Amino acid sequence: MTASTSPDTPARTALARTREELASALAGDDAPRAVVMTMGALHQGHFDLVREAARHVGADGTVVVTIFVNPLQFAPGEDLDAYPRTLEADLDGLAAVLTGADGALAVGRLVVFAPTPEVMYPYGDPQVRIDPGPLATVLEGRIRPTHFAGVCQVVLSLMHLTAPRWAMFGRKDAQQLAVVKAMVRDLAVPVEIVPVDIRRETDGLAMSSRNAYLSDAERGHALALSRALEAGRAAARTGADAAAVRAAAQQVLDAEAGVEVDYVAVVDPDSFVDLAGAGLGLETRNQPVDSAQVGSAADGARSSQGLLAVAARVGSTRLIDNTLIDLP
Ligand code: PAF
């Protein structure tokens, strides 16, 4: 994959390492465009996002994949330095995913943007910051208070640099999805957010680049997360309310030695209003955060869906997982 040189004859695949190379690769390209933002170490979960992007743009469209381990979303002491960086394998994987049975690229163009921190933040630490608001202060935000501001900073910048019609985001990071949807809505960013379902290993473990940190024994303990979600889903199927769904999931996690639970919550998937009376610093239905205001503006109606979300430490690895459930 090489950097595109001429906007008149754009390469069908291009690797851009600088803003100038990206601008040159996208110049004059008015085909439908979707972006998939990643931190690399790509797995099938990412490739599902890429496939969904390809479906959206069609055979002549452009898929842009960004690969950037964003320092702003890591707090001191988190795994910024250890985070896997596998650019060559990522490029091979992307080419394979977007190659059709005939051996040709299945979309019009694939542009990969893989900047360094200096390219992404050429003036050093950004002066103008995004405040992602109350959604970013609960659950993940409570444990990682600067995380979503860092995510918003890079996501908005990458939206400006890549100018997509669609941006794909995985449901695995459900709170990130909610924060990004709220940012796009509140800042009138002309990009449509497309959620993509969680990809799981055959034993149920949600795919994550951080799974690579788990030892064999830890990987066994980690399966308690998906089992807890299944217990919650099973309870929901019998008509259990949010509190009972949460209790069913909590019970599975509590029974697993080697799993240190950070939280188990049932929340509104858009507003993260607490539906299960769990405390955890969440707003409850009687408090000011209103789902119709904070959540999807599409219909404004309160959803009967809940999001059962869990986070736990297995050894030194922090894992999150979630599932949507129907509530009475
Ligand atoms: O989900 C991720 O991998 C990251 O948070 C994102 C959206 C690429 C921003 O760095």
Q: Which residues contact 172 (CB under 8 A, 6 or more apart)?
A: 45, 198, 199, 206, 207, 208, 320, 321, 322
In a domain, 162, yes or no: yes
Q: Is 154 helix (H, G, I), strand (E, B) or coil?
A: helix
In a domain, 5, yes or no: no
Can you give the residue range of the structural domain that contains 290?
209-327
Return the amino acid letter for 257: A
Structure tokens belonging to residue 35 = 């972006």
Would you state the torsion angle of the CA atoms of residues 35, 37, 42, 46, taken in this order, to the nearest 10 degrees? -60
Asked if 226 and 305 sit in the same domain, the reply is yes
Q: Is 320 helix (H, G, I), strand (E, B) or coil?
A: strand
Selection from 224, 267, 261 nearest residue 242 by Cα: 267
Contact 4, 102 (CB under 8 A): no
Asked if 182 and 215 sit in the same domain, the reply is no
Report the C-alpha gap between 22 and 28 in whole angstroms. 12
Average pLDDT over all residues of the chain? 92
In a domain, 8, yes or no: no
User: Euclidean distance between the first and final Cα of the chain, in Å?
Assistant: 51
Closest ligand 1 atom to 73 CA:
10
Structure tokens belonging to residue 227 = 């089992």
Report the C-alpha gap between 271 and 153 in whole angstroms. 20
**Residues making up the binding site for ATP:** 39-46, 170-173, 207-210
In a domain, 132, yes or no: yes
What is residue 28's predicted lDDT score, i.e. its pLDDT?
Answer: 96
Q: Ligand 1 pocket test: pick from 35, 38, 65, 73 the residue with the most ligand atoms within 8 Å of its Cβ.
A: 38
Asked if 222 and 127 sit in the same domain, the reply is no
Instruction: Supply the residue whose CA is at minimum distance from atom 1 of ligand 1.
Output: 38
Closest ligand 1 atom to 170 CA:
1
Please return the burial class of 127, using the count of CB atoms within 10 Å of its CB with bins 0-12, 13-18 and 19+: exposed
Asked if 225 and 94 sit in the same domain, the reply is no
pLDDT band of 285, cuts 50, 70, 90: low
pLDDT in tens, 160-207: 999 999 999 999 999 999 999 999 999 999 999 999 999 999 999 999
Closest ligand 1 atom to 70 CA:
10
Number of domains composing the chain: 2
pLDDT in tens, 74-86: 999 999 999 999 9
Asked if 235 and 116 sit in the same domain, the reply is no
Report the C-alpha gap between 8 and 316 in whole angstroms. 50
Ligand 1 centroid–CA 129 distance in Å is: 17
The CA distances from residue 203 to 199, 221, 260, in Å, are: 11, 12, 20
Asked if 129 and 188 sit in the same domain, the reply is yes
Report the C-alpha gap between 105 and 31 in whole angstroms. 15
Asked if 263 and 183 sit in the same domain, the reply is no
Strand 305-314's sheet: what is its strand order? 260-267, 305-314, 317-326
What is residue 3's predicted lDDT score, i.e. its pLDDT?
Answer: 56
Q: Which of 46, 56, 147, 221 is catalytic?
A: 46
What is residue 281's predicted lDDT score, i.e. its pLDDT?
Answer: 73
147 is catalytic: no
Asked if 190 and 213 sit in the same domain, the reply is no
Report the C-alpha gap between 78 and 19 in whole angstroms. 28
Ligand 1 centroid–CA 173 distance in Å is: 9
Asked if 229 and 102 sit in the same domain, the reply is no
In a domain, 252, yes or no: yes
Asked if 106 and 224 sit in the same domain, the reply is no
Q: Where are the beta strands (DSSP E) in the chain?
A: 13-16, 33-38, 62-67, 109-113, 166-170, 192-196, 260-267, 305-314, 317-326
Ligand 1 centroid–CA 4 distance in Å is: 25
Ligand 1 centroid–CA 245 distance in Å is: 29
Closest ligand 1 atom to 69 CA:
10
What is residue 301's predicted lDDT score, i.e. its pLDDT?
Answer: 45
pTM of the model: 0.92
Closest ligand 1 atom to 38 CA:
8
In a domain, 2, yes or no: no
What is residue 283's predicted lDDT score, i.e. its pLDDT?
Answer: 78
Last residue of a domain, one of 196, 224, 256: 196
Identify the CATH number of the domain in which residue 265 sits.
Answer: 3.30.1300.10
In a domain, 148, yes or no: yes
Asked if 223 and 188 sit in the same domain, the reply is no
Asked if 295 and 166 sit in the same domain, the reply is no
Identify the CATH number of the domain in which residue 106 sits.
Answer: 3.40.50.620
DSSP string of 279-319?
-TT--BTTSS--HHHHS-TTT-PPPSEEEEEEEEEETTEEE
pLDDT band of 295, cuts 50, 70, 90: very low
Ligand 1 centroid–CA 312 distance in Å is: 20
Pocket of ligand 1 (CB under 6 A): 37-39, 70, 73, 151, 154-155, 173, 176
In a domain, 28, yes or no: yes
Ligand 1 centroid–CA 169 distance in Å is: 9
Last residue of a domain, one of 165, 196, 227: 196
**Residues making up the binding site for (R)-pantoate:** 73, 176
Instruction: Supply the residue whose CA is at minimum distance from atom 2 of ligand 1.
Output: 38
Q: Ligand 1 pocket test: pick from 173, 181, 210 the residue with the most ligand atoms within 8 Å of its Cβ.
A: 173
Residue 87 — φ and ψ, nearest 5°?
-55, -45
CB atoms within 10 A of CB 117: 13
DSSP string of 15-59?
EE-SHHHHHHHHTT--S-EEEEEE-S---HHHHHHHHHHHHHH-T
Instruction: Supply the residue whose CA is at minimum distance from atom 3 of ligand 1.
Output: 38
